[in-house]
Amino acid sequence: MPPLLERVGLVVDRIDWHARELMAALRVRGIETVPVRLPRCGFATQTASGLHIDGFNDTLPDAVIVRTMSGGTFEAVTLRLGVLHALRELGVPVWNDARAIERCVDKSMTSFLLSRAGIATPATWATESYEEARAIVQRAAADGPLVLKPLFGSQGRGLMLIRRPEDLPQTEQAAGRVFYLQRFIGAERGGYHDFRVLVVQGRIVAAMQRHSSHWITNIKRGGRPVAVAVNDELKALALRAAKAVGAAFVGVDIIYGADMRPAVLEVNSMPAWSGLQKVTAVNIASVFADCFLEGVGIRNTQGATA
């Protein structure tokens, strides 16, 4: 069989363990993976595609995986997302699509979509107004604390418990000068626990529980990954959350609240999985590669499965 020429663009900031895992998984399936640095991509309306994609000269990738996308100025991020939007407009499958990335990076939009879809998620407010944030806390804190999160946060950075209006930072000190407030629903049960469920193309690929002595359970903040078999309720919740944001693959954070019912905390459109891999038997990158190639309609030359 002649070698296939399919080339997948892998959007990364750096070639880390995840990128190497994905590249290796695609390589054994006969696919060449080219790292793409979004800051080196852009528009060029005189070219055939109107786009310049890092590493592809005047051609386009057959499909794209967005592994990471770093922050930047509003203009830089708009340009980077614009390139991903344009790829979709040109018919290049992009995982995740820029629309799904936008919905997940903006935690308030995720909260809105989850709750509109009837998916259990803690009550959430988002406002630019310090006065409004104070009023929200004043009203809501009678029923327990709230969590203030950076709207574009990740890895458990910058979260604060808010028990009274005075706990709120001034607008200048608030991340991005906006207030994203969520009802705190955590419960101490010999430490704090929540779940991370990895969904790819409507399939539960892996899941773990995160244990921590702190209420912020992110692995990057010292949370410990623990192998777990997720029940049908959690699976259904994770699948619905992925669908609600329209993403091909997501890491869904789910917690059992004080009322013992599961609720979705957030949906990650660029989830890392090194912690998850430590407690998962299947090779996550392999399963991802199979789902991806099937999903974007690229033939898997090796017919490899996990």
Binding residues for ligand ADP, rule: CB under 6 A, are 122, 147, 149, 153-157, 159, 182-186, 194, 215-218, 253, 255, 265-266
Of all residues in the shown chain, the one whose CB is closest to Mg ion is 253
Q: Please, are residues 49 and 58 in contact by the beta-carbon 8 Å criterion?
A: yes
Spell out where 136-291 has E strands: 146-149, 160-162, 179-183, 192-200, 203-212, 224-227, 249-256, 262-268
Query: Please, which residue, 97 or 253, has the CB nearer to ligand ADP?
Result: 253
Q: Out of 6, 62, 97, 253, which residue is the one contacting Mg ion (CB under 5 A)?
A: 253
What is the total count of residues that contact Mg ion (CB under 5 A)?
A: 2
Query: Please, which residue, 21 or 253, has the CB nearer to Mg ion?
Result: 253
> What does 155 bind: Mg ion, ligand ADP, none (CB cut-off 5 to 8 Å by kind)?
ligand ADP
Q: Please, are residues 172 and 193 in contact by the beta-carbon 8 Å criterion?
A: no
Shortest reach from residue 91's CB to ligand ADP, in Å = 32
> What does 159 bind: ligand ADP, Mg ion, none (CB cut-off 5 to 8 Å by kind)?
ligand ADP
Strands 32-36 and 94-95, how do they pair?
Answer: unpaired
Shortest reach from residue 172's CB to ligand ADP, in Å = 22
Place of tokens 């069989």: 1
> What does 108 bind: ligand ADP, Mg ion, none (CB cut-off 5 to 8 Å by kind)?
none
> What does 9 bind: Mg ion, ligand ADP, none (CB cut-off 5 to 8 Å by kind)?
none
Query: Please, which residue, 131 or 188, has the CB nearer to ligand ADP?
Result: 188
Q: DSSP letter at 133? A: H
Which ranges constitute the DSSP H helices of 13-156?
A: 17-27, 74-89, 98-105, 107-116, 130-140
> What does 96 bind: Mg ion, ligand ADP, none (CB cut-off 5 to 8 Å by kind)?
none
Shortest reach from residue 210's CB to ligand ADP, in Å = 7
* CA angle, 199 then 205 then 211, to 5°: 85
Shortest reach from residue 173's CB to ligand ADP, in Å = 18
Shortest reach from residue 27's CB to ligand ADP, in Å = 31
Query: Please, which residue, 218 or 300, has the CB nearer to ligand ADP?
Result: 218
Shortest reach from residue 179's CB to Mg ion, in Å = 19
- What are residue 227's DSSP bridge partners? 208
> What does 10 bind: Mg ion, ligand ADP, none (CB cut-off 5 to 8 Å by kind)?
none
Q: Please, are residues 251 and 198 in contact by the beta-carbon 8 Å criterion?
A: yes
**Structure-token pair, residue 224:** 């410990």
Shortest reach from residue 191's CB to ligand ADP, in Å = 11
How far does Cα 175 stand from its chain's mean position?
A: 19
Stretch that binds Mg ion, among 10-18, 96-104, 129-137, 264-272 (CB under 5 A): 264-272
Shortest reach from residue 280's CB to ligand ADP, in Å = 18
Note the maximum CA span of the chain: 69
Query: Please, which residue, 7 or 149, has the CB nearer to Mg ion?
Result: 149
Encode 215-244: b = buried (16+ Cβ within 10 Å), e = exposed. bbbbbeeebbbeebebeeebeebbbbbbeb
- State the Cα–Cα distance between residues 259 and 17, nearest whole angstrom: 38
Q: Please, are residues 158 and 149 in contact by the beta-carbon 8 Å criterion?
A: yes
Stretch that binds Mg ion, among 161-169, 171-179, 186-194, 261-269 (CB under 5 A): 261-269
Residues engaged in binding Mg ion (CB under 5 A): 253, 266
